[in-house]
Structure 1
Amino acid sequence: MNLNLDDLHLFVLTVQHGGISAAAKQHSLQRSKVSRRLQELEKALGCQLLIRTTRQIELTENGRLLYQQVSQPLTEVTQAAKLLSNQQKSLQGVLRVAVPAALITSNMFTLLIDKYLDQFPGVLLEVLHCQGSVDLKRENVDIQILPDGVKVINEDYVQQTLLRFPSSLVASNAYLQSHAPINALTDLLTHPLMVSRYNQTSLPDNLTLRLSSDDLRLIQHMATAGKGIALLPSILLRDALKSGELVPILVNEKLPEIKLTLIYPSRQFLPEKTRALIELLRDTFKFN
């Protein structure tokens, strides 16, 4: 038996609306198409379901039996489909975002999250601390932001480059006054450096690393405490440099940049709450 579920659905709609024309009009279908599909259903089942008259339809005994058996399950399926469709279009529910510690501690990201929560109060935002790539579909994560150099698990995922973050070398005044002067990159050989793992690989191997951390605020704190020279994203240092808490070093040298990549499973079937955050990221970070 070659039974079409769409035809069953049309049968239920026809009974619920009291006629073929009414069902077709209510659901923006052609009357001839509905009539033809009902005939195909009767043919597949091998029995007559409807007695057609000029103004209405009547159910045969087989038609009443079929309607009793399938109307409730099909109605529930339709309601479930509508629920899923509305969930995709609504700006509510849970949105899970995986980001590295370097981004969590930045003022820019904090302001972005604050703005998103203000605009979309119906969304529960879950921010996960993840340093490596996760399988978004299997882990039920909507968006991930990763630094350059971290391999994405699934190359089929959408990947978009965010603004590059230039870095600066900084130290406290107290440290600089009590240690040998730094006039060139080679002078760093005699100083302890504090870096993140994102920019560590771009530095010469013969430098002395004293601290390597994913927590950029920790590195900044240690630099302020006079523990050495820190290499940090310039965007995090604005307040510290303005207040004189930290002092820039070798400002004319080209230093490593941290590049962030936005990752999400697919452009197709993108929920509105996810699309809204992606657009906010575009506005904030300016895609290249």
Structure 2
Amino acid sequence: MKASMDDLYLFILTVRHGGISAAAQAHGLQRSKVSRRLQELEKALGCQLLIRTTRQIEMTEHGRLLYQHINQPLSDVNQAISLLKNQQQSLQGVLRIAVPAAFIASALFSELLDDYARQFPDINLEIFHRHQSVDLKRENIDLQLLPDVLDIINEDYVQQVFLPSKKGLLCSPGYLKSHDKPQCLNDLFAHSILTSHNDPSLLPEGLNIRLMSEDLGLINHMAQSGHGIALLPMTLVQQQIKQGELIHLLPDIYQSEISMTLIYSSRQFLPQKTRTMINLLRDKFLNHH
């Protein structure tokens, strides 16, 4: 679909007047028509240009890029249109991902980034530590991964729950030298517990919570250092268990699961670089239950 010059003009008016209603009123146009034509322009370009709120509009990164060129000669306008389309379809540029710090430290995530970097050498990666939901559009982040128990800041964002993983109780061999090994859940009351802010409801009430943190990497470290029994996703500790740094406690008694939510702003305007990462995430983590 080809971008219409009339729609580009309506985009200019909307930005200059600070909103669709103001632009429509100033030029004697119907608000619904302006809104519809802007949607057609975004569809033609294959990317979102404006963030619409009840009172105002904001330009996305693509919107700012287009507006920078829009008042230039017609050749520059056409060049900007081609640039936006190429950005959406090409496997180059920057892919920005927000993930919890503990997930970044996992071997699985390192393998994922390694595979992606090898397959797509022209795409640069920016990884951000985020423990809570972020506004992807305003922070210009392509993807976010969060535990599924957390609320998403924008319910319009696409949310895909995947990577189901069992959670286990773990401690170091050194911890068991000075503490009795628990044989049932009630035995946990005699121990110090290390857990995340999202997990207390998964454990019996009244336990001695010695450490509570959003950083699973910190909890993992404290468990390996012998400070207590930790509740952690099994996908993050497989290597430590194999190396004998952590011991899985009550594997036949305690069962709990956690999943990750993959979040991105829109299915309609999904760049190819983002789509390839989503596909790689699915392929890699669906085999790690």
Secondary structure, aligned partner of 2:202:
coil
Name the structure 2 match of 1:168.
168
Residues 266 and 5 of structure 1: is their aligned pair in 2 closer, same or farther, counting only changes over 3 Å? closer
Deviations 1:54-73 (A, max 9, x none): xxxxxxxxxxxxxxxxxx82
Amino acid of the structure 2 residue aligned with 1:131: H
Distance 1:254 1:240 in 2: 19
Quote the offset at 1:205 in angstroms: 2.6
Name 1:269's counterpart in structure 2.
269
Q: Are the equivalent residues in 2 in contact too, given 1:105–1:216 (CA < 8 A)?
A: no
Amino acid at match of 1:79: Q
Deviations 1:162-182 (A, max 9, x none): 121111111222222322341
Say if 2:145 and 2:263, in contact at 8 Å, map to a contact too. Answer: yes
Note the 1:8-47 alignment, pairs <5 A: none
Counterpart residue type for residue 182 of structure 1: P
Superposition deviation, residue 95 in structure 1: 1.2
CA distance in 2, matches of 1:5, 1:160: 37
What letter corresponds to residue 178 of structure 1 in structure 2? S
Q: Which amino acid aligns with 2:75?
A: T
Once the two structures are TM-superposed, the CA of residue 82 in structure 1 deviates from its matched residue by 0.8
RMSD value, Cα: 2.0
Q: What is the aligned partner in structure 1 of residue 243 from structure 2?
A: 243
Query: Contact 1:166/1:234 (CA < 8 Å) preserved in 2?
Result: yes
Aligned to 2:66: none
Measured in 1, the distance between the counterparts of 2:274 and 2:267 equals 10
Q: After the TM superposition, which residues 114-125 of structure 1 pair with which residues of structure 2 at under 5 Å, given as runs?
A: 114-125=114-125
1:134 equivalent in alignment to 2:134:
yes
- Structure 2 length-normalised TM: 0.71
Structure-1 separation of matches of 2:130 and 2:203: 24
Paired letter, 2:74: L
Q: Which residue of 1 aligns with 2:102?
A: 102
Rounded to whole Å, the distance in 2 between the matches of 1:134 and 1:217 is 21
Alpha-carbon separation, structure 2, partners of 1:222 and 1:90: 44
Do the aligned residues in 1 keep the contact of 2:159 with 2:261 (CA within 8 Å)?
yes
In the alignment, the residues of structure 1 paired with residue 5 and residue 245 of structure 2 have an alpha-carbon distance, to the nearest angstrom, of 70
Give the number of equivalent residue pairs. 220
Counting only pairs closer than 5 Å after superposition, residues 114-263 of structure 1 correspond to structure 2 as 114-263=114-263
Give the whole-Å Cα distance in 2 for the aligned partners of 1:199 and 1:131.
14
Report the 3-state secondary structure (helix = DSSP H, G, I; strand = E; otherwise coil) of the residue aligned with 2:91: coil
Secondary structure in 2 matching 1:141: coil
> Which secondary structure does the structure 2 equivalent of 1:248 belong to?
strand
Partner AA of 1:82 in structure 2: S
Tell me if structure 1 keeps the 8 A contact 2:148–2:161.
no
The equivalent residue for 1:65 is none
1:82 aligned residue:
82
TM-score by length of 1: 0.72
Structure 2: gaps (5+ residues): 7-71
* Unaligned runs of at least 5 residues, structure 1: 7-71
**AA partner of residue 125 (structure 2):** L
Residue 276 of structure 1 aligns to a residue whose secondary structure is helix
Match for residue 44 of structure 1? none
Structure 1 counterpart of 2:198, one-letter code: Y
Secondary structure of residue in 2 paired with 1:144: strand
1:69 corresponds in structure 2 to none
Q: Which has the larger radius of gyration?
A: 1
Q: Name the aligned partner's letter for residue 156 of structure 1.
A: D
* Matched-pair contact (CA < 8 Å) for 1:96–1:125: yes
How far apart are 1:112 and its partner, in Å? 0.2
Q: Which residue of 2 aligns with 1:73?
A: 73
8 A contact 2:101–2:217 mirrored in 1: no
Partner Cα distance (1:100, 1:140) in 2: 17
The alpha carbon displacement at 1:204 in A equals: 2.4
Deviation of the 1:199 alpha carbon: 2.2
Q: Give the partner amino acid of 1:241.
A: I
- Identity across matched positions, percent: 53
Shift of residue 129, structure 1, vs aligned partner: 0.6
- The question of whether the paired residues in 2 share the 8 Å contact of 1:148 and 1:198 is answered with no
Deviations 1:190-216 (A, max 9, x none): 100111223233222301111122332
Which amino acid is 1:123 matched to?
Answer: I
| Offset at residue 5 of structure 1 (A) | 4.2
3-state SS, counterpart of residue 160 of structure 2: strand
